[in-house]
Chain A
Amino acid sequence: MQIVQAFKEKRPPALYSLVLYFLGFMLLWEWLRPLNQISSTEDTHVFVVFTAFLFLITYFQLPLWISFPIKFVALLYALHSLYYPDLFLSFQWVPHLLGDIQANMAMIWSRSWTELSSITRSLLFLVLLWLVSYLMNYWLMQTKRIFLFLFMTVFYITVLDTFTPYDAKVAIVRTVFIGLILVGILRIMKIVEKEGFSLMKGRFPVMWMVPLTVVIALSSTLGLLAPKASPQWPDPVPFLSALNNSDEDIPGNGNSFGRIGYGTNDSRLGGPFKFNYDEVFTAKVKERHYWRVETKDMYTGKGWESSERDEPLFLNRDHVEYNALGSNLIEPGGAEMEKQKASIKMTKRYPFIVSPGVITSLRAREDVNFLMHPQTGKINTFSQNRSTELKSYQMDYELPQYDEKRLRESGGDYPRYVSGLYLQLPAELPKRVKKLAAKVTSKLDNPYDKAKAVENYFALNNFGYDTVNVRAPKRDEDYVDQFLFKAQKGYCDNFSSAMVVMLRSVGIPARWVKGFTYGEYQETNKDYKTYKITNANAHSWPEVYFSGVGWVPFEPTRGFSNPSSFEEEIQSAAAPAAPAVPKDKKKNEMKPEQKERGSDKAAKKSDSGVNIAGFVTLFLVLAAVLIVALFRKKWLRQYYIWKFRRQKGTGTFAQAYHRLLYLTQLYGLKRDPAFTLREYAAYVDRSLDTKDMKVLTSAYESLQYGRRDSTDYWNDTNRKLWENLIKRLRG
């Protein structure tokens, strides 16, 4: 309340504060504008509206107990409108939100930043906006200083302009224009405050505001029209990128996508990468196969995201059942299942497990719970509600053996939960992708053959496998389109994404799977073979849904072969089998360098994930520190009074006196170093209208300059004087 009052005391007239808040908001808006370009954040308008609302509420200067709840509800509403389609007032979304926050808190504690759900991230972001709006209020109304923020804004925009696709040509002009006007108004406010005359008197506003705006507008226009020198330094981006990837030549600046952006997902694919052969885990299995981690359903034109709307399922470790809609990999009776066992020993620690397919039971540390997201199939490990990482685990599972005949017979009637999610395509997907897919599949009559045709399309058309000379798509380019029609070379992400997108465009549900390939063979034992899986084995591939069967993996990436077993019928439809030989050949050739991008990408991504989340945390901490520092006037007074009421002993009086000097200076009664204590005391007494400082000071003088024993100086009388002085400090 004190703070609110303090604000009120120094508040400029209503019209002025309206202008100030408006300009302040415009400045903050500049921070939000680039978000949808530099990160996966969509619906930035929600954040903008939320911020505007915060400013509006702050403008009305309601007491804290009213404004806080209003802002809080606004925050919830913003969050709701971002993620929940149902009615706000139905409150059905509340339990889910709470659950999500709870689960994510666990992840925050375990520092698995990459795992944070987008709801929590948005929540944190909204809170951050709230904090910043509070700070802005402080800067605008209290200290009347905005230059620091203006500087940071300009810095932010220029950095984004340099290192991301964001084009700040207009933004920088806007920012400087708004910022300078703000600085100008605040300056005059400060003068007015100091001189103590009324702003509204006479023609003063016109006399200041009009010339200010005219001068700034004129100089901005002149600046815009004036000829500009070309850059004095070469563009630093290629150099910096080269530092990071010393042996790669980077066309364009797409590489920076991996590092900058809000979120930790695959929302921005593309660009070259380097292999990393760090071991991730070793697996003991009877038969080698790919390891799944998760699937993604939403293609954005730049990469993959998960719509992830369902509650995670708790898995019964002894008898794993997939009882949620869509969590089944294989429909009941969809394929012949072969019982298998596997034992995994992790080298890298992940809060999730790798899955070979249809898990029937899991064995691991007793305290660990397994939670599966039905949609993504990702199985996270928790211990006592906290995300945890397993060193090793064993599992029983079933490997499907697909019957090609059945696959061919499977028709086009898909369950709603499949067609609803897995036929999604971005509206701006270039038409030629669809055309190509239609052309490739036109002569075939069943989904399986169509899928096979698309799978083989890349090999038949000499698409190359390349991890180095890969250009990230430009801002206006579609990831798949760029791969299919321009680059025609790439790595697993390119091939798998392209296949999923092409299939979807011809009405076949498909999704994008991330995981690992079977790894490098190590040794054979009586019952099992050991494989070492490194970061270079990370991989992505498509899964296609066939009604009656379930999800079937395909392998379109050049140089890789599908490890899943297909029971082949008589080779009637020749197309699918044809490329088998060249594939294998190619694979052998490529063996040494046939490493996967995904792994490294996973590593890189998690790095940048940590960076971003760490950045957000850092920002939050900094904001908190800043607030504490800005309001130190308020709490320091209380703290010192509290502290020195308790403290006794020889040095106490001197200490207390010096704290008082610090406080009086903090409250604007500056002491020139050439002031003697008496002169300063007289100044303080004059300002606070007391005589106490003089009395205290003469006591301190005899302590400081005389030869006095200090024990009896911190007595009740002196302490009362001291407290009185501190309490008199205001504003």
Chain B
Amino acid sequence: MSVNKARYDSYRSELDAVIKNIEHVIVGKKQISELSLVALLAGGHVLLEDVPGVGKTMMVRAIAKSLGLQFNRIQFTPDLLPSDITGVSIFNQKEMNFEFRPGPLMGNVVLADEINRTSPKTQSALLESMEEKSVTIDGHTHILPNPFFVMATQNPIEYEGTYPLPEAQLDRFLLKLNMGYPTPDEEMSILNLMIHDHPIDNLKPVVTSGQLQEMKQKVTEVYVDDTVKKYIIDLVNRTRNHRSIYLGASPRGSLALMKASQALAFIMDRDFVVPDDVKYLAPYVLTHRILLKPEARFEGESAESVVIELLNRVPVPIQKGHHAR
């Protein structure tokens, strides 16, 4: 155990360094940075839903820089074509053949800004590549770099001229996060921080890509006890027959919740998942996977409030062999 512990400690210090790095740039959003790391380590993607200017882009850039990863940004507009993001094959007259020019998607960390502004065609191209970690152009399959981490943002305010993502596609995101506004104190620190130059320029990577791969491998090895799996299933199952929910979470939801919990446990320096991990992550993992009934929406319920209500109701297993205690 002591050997294990030492190894985990070393990861811990690296993870701490990453989070600290991000905090240099983004003030007071430790929780969001942690959750983003969870998604990254679990091999998933994040949907950030927030108003402009709260630091979404900065955060993604900070993560990319801290991890020494290549960062690309795609600003989605209505006239953006799939090939604009995946890349195109261009005929090279000199060499007399088609040459692949990779699009912005071919990066490690991709910020897909205002994803709901582009046409469904482009959206689906993005989401497909997220799922399959590859793009196919002119019959050639191009493997996307590893790690491949997409952070998509969505502006919840302006809906005019947007193409809301369908449920099936929302499902592809592991977590949905809200940045939220900083507190006045935090805002003051932001102003102080930015008074000369932007701190992002001074950010140095703290983790090598080899270490990152190793960590991702470790995450999959985090132990999930059957009682905890049962808890996850209980939770997800309840979304399927809740009175306010029209469409519940799919098995992909259960899987996502488990994977995310593993990553969180890893970040928390544990080699096993506890129900607290599940409970903590459930709102981020489940809210975008369920669809409320219209009447529930009219009554002022939100997906988040329903998930929280479920969390307050589903019994936590505390004893082996006794699930409903």
Q: Which residues of A contact B (CB under 8 A)?
A: 654, 658, 661, 672-679, 701-702, 704-707
Interface pair A707/B313, CB less than 8 Å apart: no
Interface pair B272/A702, CB less than 8 Å apart: yes
Q: Is B19 an interface residue (CB 8 A)?
A: no
Question: Nearest Cβ distance between residue A658 and chain B, in whole angstroms?
Answer: 7
Interface pair B225/A676, CB less than 8 Å apart: no
**Chain B: interface residue count, which band?**
20 to 34
Bound state CA distance, A705 and B224, in angstroms? 7
Interface pair A673/B316, CB less than 8 Å apart: yes
Main secondary structure of the interface of B (DSSP, over half): loop
Q: Tell me which residues across on chain A come within 8 A of B223, comparing CB atoms.
A: 705-707
Interface pair A674/B325, CB less than 8 Å apart: no
Question: Nearest Cβ distance between residue A216 and chain B, in whole angstroms?
Answer: 39
Q: Tell me which residues across on chain B come within 8 A of A658, comparing CB atoms.
A: 319
Interface pair B316/A676, CB less than 8 Å apart: yes
Chain B 252-286, CB-CB to A under 8 Å as 1, else 0, gives: 00000000000000000011111110010000000
Interface pair B271/A673, CB less than 8 Å apart: no
Q: Which of B272, B279, B311, B319 contacts A707 (CB 8 A)?
A: B272
Chain A, residue nearest B279 (CB)? A676
Interface pair A706/B271, CB less than 8 Å apart: yes
Question: Nearest Cβ distance between residue A169 and chain B, in whole angstroms?
Answer: 50
Chain A, residue nearest B222 (CB)? A706
Interface pair A673/B275, CB less than 8 Å apart: no
Chain B 295-325, CB-CB to A under 8 Å as 1, else 0, gives: 0000000000000000111111011100011
Chain A, residue nearest B314 (CB)? A674
Q: Which residues of B contact A (CB under 8 A)?
A: 223, 225, 227-228, 270-276, 279, 311-316, 318-320, 324-325
Bound state CA distance, A706 and B4, in angstroms? 13
Subset of 11 A-B contacts with CB under 8 Å? A661-B318, A672-B312, A673-B315, A673-B325, A674-B311, A677-B276, A677-B318, A701-B272, A704-B227, A705-B225, A706-B270
Interface pair B316/A705, CB less than 8 Å apart: no
Interface pair B276/A676, CB less than 8 Å apart: yes
Question: Nearest Cβ distance between residue B239 and chain A, in whole angstroms?
Answer: 15
**Which of A661, A673, A705, A706: most chain B Cβ within 10 A?**
A705
Q: Tell me which residues across on chain B come within 8 A of A679, comparing CB atoms.
A: 276
Q: Which of A672, A675, A678, A707 contacts B274 (CB 8 A)?
A: A678
Chain B, residue nearest A706 (CB)? B272
Question: Nearest Cβ distance between residue A245 and chain B, in whole angstroms?
Answer: 52
Minimum-distance CB pairs A-B, first 7: A706-B272, A673-B315, A676-B275, A705-B225, A676-B276, A676-B316, A678-B276
Interface pair A705/B311, CB less than 8 Å apart: no
Q: Tell me which residues across on chain A come within 8 A of B316, comparing CB atoms.
A: 673-677
Q: Tell me which residues across on chain A come within 8 A of B313, comparing CB atoms.
A: 674
**Which of B273, B318, B325: most chain A Cβ within 10 A?**
B318
Bound state CA distance, A515 and B82, in angstroms? 113
Q: Tell me which residues across on chain A come within 8 A of B315, comparing CB atoms.
A: 673-674
Interface pair B273/A705, CB less than 8 Å apart: yes
Bound state CA distance, A701 and B225, in angstroms? 11
Q: Tell me which residues across on chain B come within 8 A of A654, comparing CB atoms.
A: 319
Question: Nearest Cβ distance between residue B65 and chain A, in whole angstroms?
Answer: 34
Question: Nearest Cβ distance between residue B251 and chain A, in whole angstroms?
Answer: 22
Q: Tell me which residues across on chain A come within 8 A of B270, comparing CB atoms.
A: 702, 706
Q: Tell me which residues across on chain A come within 8 A of B227, comparing CB atoms.
A: 704-705
Q: Tell me which residues across on chain A come within 8 A of B228, comparing CB atoms.
A: 705
Q: Tell me which residues across on chain B come within 8 A of A705, comparing CB atoms.
A: 223, 225, 227-228, 272-275
Bound state CA distance, A281 and B177, in angstroms? 93
Bound state CA distance, A193 and B225, in angstroms? 43
